[in-house]
Amino acid sequence: MKLIITGSGGEGIKFLAKKLSDLLLEKNYEVSLMISYDAAMEGGEIYATLVYSKEKIENPLVEKADILVELSKVKQEFEAEEKITLDQISQDSSKRLNENVLDFLVEKLNL
């Protein structure tokens, strides 16, 4: 499975991607996580690519994702089979944005 999560600095993309990869590792998946961000300023663009499999990952590069989670629009275009926007993610007001997205992805990916 290949995921891309995009957004702006401050939305918790790094936190979300790391938590999701840790969860997958706990469930004995092979995991590759790469995070790219503009470190020059808060609010800059950020995206994480996460590849996981029960088999050894030969090539972790993602040309087309199975799922693109777009928390906010970024300049770079990504190809994906399915695109999920923030509007599609139900939100519990007692949780932070990245916690709501993590809950959504755990359910969506049957983890």
pLDDT digits (tens, 9 = 90+) for 37-79: 876 566 788 999 999 999 999 888 899 999 999 988 888 889 9
Q: What is the mean pLDDT of the chain?
A: 90
% of residues, the chain, pLDDT over 90: 60
How many angstroms separate the Cα of 99 from the Cα of each of 17, 19, 49, 90, 105? Answer: 11, 10, 18, 11, 10
Q: CA–CA separation, 24 vs 54, rounded Å?
A: 10
Report the pLDDT value the prediction gives residue 41, as an integer from 0 to 100: 63
CATH number of 2-108: 3.40.920.10
Return the domain boundaries, the chain. 2-108
Would the pLDDT of 105 be above 90? yes
With residues binned 3-state (H G I as helix, E B as strand, rest as coil), the percentages for the chain, rounded to 5, are 25, 35, 40
**56 by DSSP, 3-state: which?**
coil
